[in-house]
């Protein structure tokens, strides 16, 4: 079929659609109005969480006990070492999961672990999908930690992609303690505006109950989640 014929058919087709739309009756309730603009951050509703009883007004380090309790309940491990003990914790995670290879996002808090991984004998590869799918460990930063649910929040835009937190068998999330917030609503209030293209709330390792309603870890993502809380923000 010639190019002219293709364009002619397309123009005729679009013309018929336009003609039908012009003659279409007004929808019930009158003409459609455009979507309203997004609600401002202070319009996000408050939600009460029983896990935060006794933590009213707490931020940052004060929320660490509640965050740790919720994360452990979701089968994640939380580490909050002193600056001098950080390398030892990284080495322990490497040994516990028999890590030989890792991918690390470009986020400053994640990059701070690269020398420690190399000292532990881990090969650190480029942050690509192919490398991430073959790696034992994926290291990402976290833009927030949610005390009520034990979740870490990963922004794909900031991390340079989603692969490091989804494809390796172990996910190590690095969370500066001053990014701890009480609830998911607080994450939305803090912005940014507009929201990033992909924001993931990671609560424990990947799990599914698709097969006979038996919970299985690691089917759709990492089999383990390690959370490293940094007392001194990167």
Concatenating the DSSP letter of every residue in 97-129 gives TT--EEEE-S-HHHHTTHHHHHHTTPEEE-S-H
**In angstroms, how far apart are the furthest CA atoms of the chain?**
74
Structure tokens of 57?
């007004």
Taking residues 179-208, what's their average pLDDT?
A: 83
Is residue 139 one of the residues assigned to a domain? Answer: yes
Average pLDDT score over residue span 138-154? 95
**What confidence tens digit (pLDDT) does each residue in 200-213 have?**
999 988 766 666 66
In this predicted structure, the answer to whether residue 162 has a pLDDT above a threshold of 70 is yes
How many independent structural domains does the chain possess? Answer: 1
Helix H segments across the chain?
Answer: 3-22, 64-73, 86-96, 108-111, 114-119, 129-134, 156-159, 163-166, 184-189
Confidence class of residue 129 from pLDDT cuts 50, 70 and 90?
confident
Question: Domain limits at 75?
Answer: 59-230
Are the C-beta atoms of residues 163 and 197 closer than 8 Å to each other? no
> What counts of helices (H) and strands (E) characterise the chain?
9, 12
Backbone angles phi and psi of 174, in degrees to 5: -105, 120
Closest CA to 171 of 126, 125, 138, 128: 138
Domain presence at residue 28:
no
Residue 140 lies in a domain: yes
Q: How far apart are CA 201 and CA 230, in angstroms?
A: 19
Does residue 10 sit within a domain? no
Q: What percent of the chain has pLDDT over 70?
A: 74
Q: Within a domain: residue 7?
A: no
Map residue 207 onto helix, strand or coil. Answer: strand
Q: Are 169 and 134 in contact (CB under 8 A)?
A: no
CATH number for position 124: 3.40.50.10420
Residues 28-33: what's their mean pLDDT?
59
41 is a domain residue: no
pLDDT at 32 over 80: no
Q: Would the pLDDT of 173 be above 50? A: yes
* Per-residue model confidence (pLDDT) at position 186: 87
Q: Name the percent of the chain in helix, strand, coil, to the closest 5.
A: 35, 20, 45
pLDDT at 199 over 60: yes
3-state secondary structure of 219: coil
For the beta sheet containing 123-125, the strands, ordered from the edge strand earlier in sequence to the opposite edge, are 77-79, 224-230, 170-176, 137-141, 101-104, 123-125
What whole-number distance in Å separates Cα of residue 120 and Cα of residue 100?
9
At 140 the pLDDT is 96
pLDDT of residue 234: 47
In a domain, 17, yes or no: no
Mean pLDDT computed over 151-170 = 91
- CA atoms of 68 and 63, how far apart (whole Å): 9
Contact 64, 229 (CB under 8 A): yes
Lowest mean pLDDT among 28-32, 96-100, 128-132: 28-32
Whether 19 maps to a domain, the answer reads no
pLDDT tens per residue, range 49-99: 777 777 777 889 999 999 999 999 999 999 999 989 999 999 999 999 999
Give me 172's structure tokens.
């190590």
pTM over 0.85: no
pLDDT of residue 213: 65
């Amino acid at each position: 079929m010639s190019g002219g014929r293709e364009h002619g058919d397309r123009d005729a087709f679009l013309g018929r659609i336009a003609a039908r739309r012009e003659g279409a009756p007004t929808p019930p309730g009158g003409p459609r109005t455009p979507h309203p603009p997004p609600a401002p951050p202070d319009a996000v509703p408050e939600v009460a969480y029983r896990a935060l009883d006794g933590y009213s007004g707490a931020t940052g380090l004060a929320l660490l006990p509640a965050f740790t309790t919720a994360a452990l309940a979701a089968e994640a491990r939380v580490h909050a070492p002193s600056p001098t003990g950080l390398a030892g914790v990284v080495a322990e995670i490497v040994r516990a999961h028999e890590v030989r290879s890792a991918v690390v996002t470009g986020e400053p808090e994640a990059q701070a672990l690269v020398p420690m991984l190399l000292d532990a004998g881990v090969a650190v590869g480029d942050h690509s999908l192919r490398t991430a799918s073959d790696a034992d460990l994926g290291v990402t930063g976290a833009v927030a930690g949610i005390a009520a649910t034990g979740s870490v929040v990963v922004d794909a835009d900031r991390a340079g992609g989603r692969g490091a937190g989804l494809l390796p068998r172990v996910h190590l999330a690095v969370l500066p303690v001053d990014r701890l917030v009480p609830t998911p609503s607080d994450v939305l209030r803090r912005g940014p505006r507009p929201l990033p293209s992909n924001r993931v709330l990671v609560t424990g390792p990947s799990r599914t109950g698709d097969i006979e309603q038996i919970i299985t870890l690691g089917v759709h993502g990492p089999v383990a989640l390690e959370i490293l809380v940094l007392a001194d923000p990167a």
